[in-house]
Amino acid sequence: MIYNRYCIPTDNTRLVTAAEEQFFDQIDPNGGMYFSNEFVVEDLQFSVPVILIFTKFESQEANAFNKLQETCSYDKALLQAPHHARTQFDQEHLSRFKDRRYAPVEIVYLKGECSHHLFIDLLKYESHLRYA
């Protein structure tokens, strides 16, 4: 299975730009681009699903940790930060991608230095489970 990856860093305040919205509204993974009710590219023989990858997610966890530390102990904030960051992030941003015309088929959250090969291995493993 071939996947197209669309990576968006989460370590800044400008997460979604017009380019991201346009991509998920106008680029059809089944072939073609949708502009003003016309297909620009026609009759492709394959589909390339898009996986949205949020990178640098550790910055979201650091923000969650700092916020939690205002009301919790250091250890408790450290333990709860990953879940809190993901929940908060999903509530604030996920619908902006899932509600698009051509929403991504999968969403991945990466933090730290992650090699390209590790990501490819993860996709192969998940594809094997899904299509086995």
CA distance 69 to 63: 10
pTM confidence score: 0.71
- Give 129's strand partners: none
What's the pLDDT tens digit per position in 33-84? 544 444 444 444 456 778 888 989 999 999 999 999 999 999 999 999 999 9
Q: Which domain holds residue 92?
A: 59-132
Specify if 26 maps to a domain: no
CA distance 98 to 107: 9
CA distance 8 to 21: 12
- If one counts the domains in the chain, the total is 1
Specify if 8 maps to a domain: no
The mean pLDDT value for 6-27 works out to 83
User: Do β-strands 4-9 and 38-39 pair in parallel, antiparallel, or remain unpaired?
Assistant: unpaired
Residue type, 12: N
Specify if 124 maps to a domain: yes
The mean pLDDT value for 5-27 works out to 83
